[in-house]
Structure 1
Amino acid sequence: MSFSTAALVASLMIGLPLSYLGLFVVLRRMAFVGAALGQLASAGIALGLLLEMPMVSGAALVTLAGVIFFSLDRPRRRIPEETWVAVVYSAAGAAGVLLMNFAPHGEADMMSLLFGNILGFDPADIVPMALVLGAVCLVQVLFLKEFLLVAFDSETARVLGYRVGLWNFFFFFSLGVAITAAIRVAGVLLVFSYLIFPPIIGLLLGRRWLSSSVISVLAGALASGLGVFASLHWDLPTGSTIVAMNFALTLLALAGWKATGSH
């Protein structure tokens, strides 16, 4: 497999599930939860490098701690939810920088965490990553009804006997697993863009959950393909080019939404 094909496969494997998961994140007005989990995964990778342990293990442990935190009940009336997300985001970002400062190749590793290196994706990692992200997708399919109910009508879910906190943990855990699997290859910036831009496109152009989901996933796939092609053709950074394509497609979707008067 050529490095360009491996880069395209990697971007699609990462982009498709994140584009879908981002719908929950955007609709729940928790866009920066994705960024915060990404920063936590980065801090975990930095911790793994410093302690000479597997990077995935470090990222998984720290991300799991963040998932537990986001699933807990907090004093939301006095302190809004987005404030807690900002706390985690800033603390994790600072921790990642500080930990990288003590790593042997800290500056280079930090740049890799921020921007990724999809062109350097090892084809041998395709199967392990596919298994992890495939498991996340399977969980989303099997428990779609529960995730939707808990996310958008938690009071009804409680009346029906659902343990809302547990289901929230389950969702954030699956999101954290996907981010942890993706961030080492894609970097924080690209992972966050997949969680935000394609879902916005899906919500602008789709009428129902199914149509929004399909459009979001297709938008993520299109941005991946165009981004990899453009980066190879014009010798541009692949991750940043895919982010730019995500942004351009979002602008086109917004223009189409305004032109058709869908609002």
Structure 2
Amino acid sequence: MDILDYAFMQRALLAAVLVGVIAPAVGIYLVQRRQALMGDGIGHVAMTGVGLGFLLNTSPVWMATAVSVLGAVLMELIRWYGRTRGDIALAMLFYGGMAGGVMFTSLAGGSTANLTSYLFGSLSTVSESDVTAIGLLAAFVLVVTLGLRRQLFAVSQDEEFARVTGLPVRALNLLTAVTAAVTVTVAMRVVGLLLVSALMVVPVAAAQQLTRNFAATFAVAVAIGVSVTIGGTVTSFYQDVPPGSTIVLLTIGAFIALTALATPLARRRARALAAAQAAGDPAECAIPATRGPESTVGV
């Protein structure tokens, strides 16, 4: 039985590849900004958009995109101008988004079961219109994350320094929030709104175990993202298991495997550095001891 003989699996695999690319591409900036849970908050507020889509009889994907973008922008505005701390703003997005999604779905005459495919992902329900929407939104995310990678990296590392250099910090922060919101709605048909944050963050954390600069971390994280989304999609087809949870478990497995691989390498590197320091080798002593994109100074 060839998996590609089925049209719905062709659509699902295409959507999975797109999600596997863009989720870590945005997640790397969220990790740098120490906002790993931002995707979780946006995922919850996107539930309101899905419920509105049911209520207004429009595309839940596009409605969720609009609502999640609005929620992300409001969160950034609260962080800048409000007295409420960022974690309080995230909490409001969490609970308000969940409540709004359930309420609007109920008003539309449906039940919470209608939300299930959006909360945890559903391969068999990915339609051609979904693929079109996912493709357009994914293109936007790639243009932003690759075209503005130097600026976004600078702001994510040090906002004050970026402001001094003349970068539009507030605009770039808003753009990062909007891009994260778009990524969440793109991924909800594959991994689901409740699990999408893991696909944005864990591949980046896994890549950091082996890499020592931003570009390498970006590339490895995307490779991990694509691998686990394809692997999870194929596994869910043959084993009849939920795609979202399968993809997330594979992602966590990749993190554990790379951590186990990186630990002896880090010890070996530390011993080599200590030996170089004892021998007085300036070239070897210049090797940084940290790893991951946080140790880089450029892209």
What TM-score do the two structures reach when normalised by structure 1?
Answer: 0.90
- 8 Å contact 1:42–1:183 — kept in the other structure? no
CA distance in 2, matches of 1:78, 1:71: 12
Q: Aligned to 2:14, which of 9, 17, 33?
A: 9
Which whole-Å deviations, capped at 9, do the CAs of 1:126-157 have from their partners, x for residues lacking one?
Answer: 34422321121012222111111111111112
Offset at 1:256?
A: 1.8
Correspondence 1:88 to 2:103:
no
Q: Residue type matched to 2:138 in 1?
A: L
Offset at 1:75?
A: 7.2
Identify, as 1 or 2, the structure richer in helix. 1
Q: Which runs of 5+ in 2 are unaligned?
A: 268-289, 291-299
Which whole-Å deviations, capped at 9, do the CAs of 1:67-86 have from their partners, x for residues lacking one?
Answer: 22232253799754233222
CA distance in 1, matches of 2:132, 2:115: 26
Partner residue, 1:44:
49
Q: Which runs of 5+ in 1 are unaligned?
A: none
Q: Aligned to 1:176, which of 149, 173, 181?
A: 181
Would the alpha carbon gap of residues 258 and 110 (structure 1) be closer, same or farther in structure 2, given more than 3 Å must change? same
Partner residue, 1:235:
240
Task: After the TM superposition, list the runs of 4 or more consecutive aligned residues in structure 1 that deviate by more than 6 angstroms.
Answer: 75-78
Partner residue, 2:161:
156
**Aligned Cα root-mean-square deviation (Å):** 2.3
Partner residue, 1:259:
264
CA distance in 2, matches of 1:57, 1:230: 28
Once the two structures are superposed, the pairs formed by residues 59-138 of structure 1 within 5 Å of their partners are: 59-72=64-77, 74=79, 80-123=85-128, 125-138=130-143
Would the alpha carbon gap of residues 61 and 226 (structure 1) be closer, same or farther in structure 2, given more than 3 Å must change? closer
Would the alpha carbon gap of residues 63 and 260 (structure 1) be closer, same or farther in structure 2, given more than 3 Å must change? same
Which whole-Å deviations, capped at 9, do the CAs of 1:214-241 have from their partners, x for residues lacking one?
Answer: 1101111111122122222222122221
Would the alpha carbon gap of residues 257 and 177 (structure 1) be closer, same or farther in structure 2, given more than 3 Å must change? same
Deviates more, 1:163-172 or 1:173-182: 173-182
Correspondence 1:56 to 2:61:
yes
Partner residue, 2:250:
245
Partner residue, 2:272:
none
Aligned residues: 263
Q: Residue type matched to 2:240 in 1?
A: D
Would the alpha carbon gap of residues 129 and 60 (structure 1) be closer, same or farther in structure 2, given more than 3 Å must change? closer
Would the alpha carbon gap of residues 82 and 167 (structure 1) be closer, same or farther in structure 2, given more than 3 Å must change? same
Correspondence 1:165 to 2:131:
no
> Once the two structures are aligned, what percentage of the paired residues are identical?
27
Q: SS of the counterpart of 2:34?
A: coil
- 8 Å contact 1:36–1:86 — kept in the other structure? yes
Partner residue, 1:221:
226
Deviates more, 1:122-131 or 1:5-14: 122-131
- 8 Å contact 1:197–1:247 — kept in the other structure? yes
- 8 Å contact 2:43–2:196 — kept in the other structure? yes
CA distance in 2, matches of 1:105, 1:73: 33
- 8 Å contact 1:194–1:220 — kept in the other structure? yes
Q: Residue type matched to 1:254 in 2?
A: T
CA distance in 2, matches of 1:141, 1:101: 40
CA distance in 1, matches of 2:26, 2:108: 32
Deviates more, 1:228-237 or 1:143-152: 228-237
CA distance in 2, matches of 1:185, 1:152: 30
Which whole-Å deviations, capped at 9, do the CAs of 1:162-200 have from their partners, x for residues lacking one?
Answer: 221111111211221222233245421342221121111
Once the two structures are superposed, the pairs formed by residues 203-218 of structure 1 within 5 Å of their partners are: 203-218=208-223
CA distance in 1, matches of 2:156, 2:103: 35
- 8 Å contact 2:24–2:225 — kept in the other structure? yes
- 8 Å contact 1:118–1:239 — kept in the other structure? no
